[in-house]
Structure 1
Amino acid sequence: MSMTIAYWCLLAAALLPYLWTSLAKANGQRYDNRDPRGWQARQDNPRSKAAYAAHLNAFEAFPTFAAGVLGAQMAGVDTGWIDVLALAFIGLRILHGVFYIAGKAALRSAVWAGGFACTVALLVLAALATI
């Protein structure tokens, strides 16, 4: 059973927070590596704040996604389903960050829900596979 696509998606999901934080730093005032949390608190650029919020949200989304992928794989769920849901999750999470930074709240919430649905589907498929 090959899990290459889903495992690449796990790596992508683990790296997404760093994409958003790099954008937060690029959109803000000169970055202070000696005081990163204080630097972030002093930012007044809405795009920088939104990118940082996307960064935090990406960290929040990762554990459930990882549990879903690994649980589905261990339960013997069809690899095709795992791959499709993992790819959809990554696509939706990228859109989530883009919409967050762009200030598109309704779209951001919609793609967040879609990404969450992917993780729930992975966990449900894992649970059903063990019945």
Structure 2
Amino acid sequence: MTLATAYWCVLIAAALPYLWVAIAKASGERYNNRDPRAWQARQDNPRSQRANAAQLNSFEAFAPFATGVILAQLAGVAHERIAWLAVVFIVFRVLHGLLYIANQHMLRTLAWTGGFVCVLWLLAQAALRMTAAA
């Protein structure tokens, strides 16, 4: 795997929230684009609510992940390691969203934790590399 793989993963991570919100919109009452936030707040369909929560969580996870990829690359972490961690992060994040929508809270938490560990690992690798270079 190359660094390009990690960059593709950043693109996928950026797009994931929009996948989950599309599912939220398709799962609720007829979607009204005039006031989408109020529309979502009125939804009583659990699938729509969970998909929306997956969307929000994906937005929250994106910045630390993208930062980890960039900092690891700038610090000179091996490209294969960055790519591997990025791919594993994406796998965990897709599972997280699917498990969120399926209301599998324990497995969802495990997937969230796996993705978070990938982000911490990227950031730690960058920090260790820069510490060793100092």
What is the TM-score of this pair, normalised by structure 2?
0.96
Q: Which residue of 2 aligns with 1:112?
A: 112
Cα distance in 1 for residues equivalent to 2:37 and 2:80? 41
Cα distance in 2 for residues equivalent to 1:35 and 1:71? 38
CA contact (8 A) 2:3 2:80 kept: no
Q: Which residue of 1 aligns with 2:32?
A: 32
* Alignment deviations for residues 94-118 of structure 1 (CA, whole Å, 9 cap, x no partner): 0000000000000000000000000
* Alignment deviations for residues 31-76 of structure 1 (CA, whole Å, 9 cap, x no partner): 0000101100010100000000000000000000011000000000
Q: Which runs of 5+ in 2 are unaligned?
A: none
Secondary structure of 1:71's partner?
Answer: helix
Letter in 1 for 2:41: A
Q: Which residue of 2 aligns with 1:84?
A: 84
Q: Which residue of 2 aligns with 1:19?
A: 19
CA contact (8 A) 2:72 2:126 kept: yes
Aligned-residue RMSD, C-alpha? 0.6
Q: Which residue of 2 aligns with 1:3?
A: 3
Q: Which residue of 2 aligns with 1:126?
A: 126
Give, in angstroms, the shift of residue 3 of structure 1: 1.7
Identity level (%):
58
Report the number of matched residues.
Answer: 130
Query: Structure 1 residue runs of 4+, over 4 Å off?
Result: none
Cα distance in 2 for residues equivalent to 1:101 and 1:3? 31
Letter in 2 for 1:11: L
What is the TM-score of this pair, normalised by structure 1?
0.98
Q: Which runs of 5+ in 1 are unaligned?
A: none
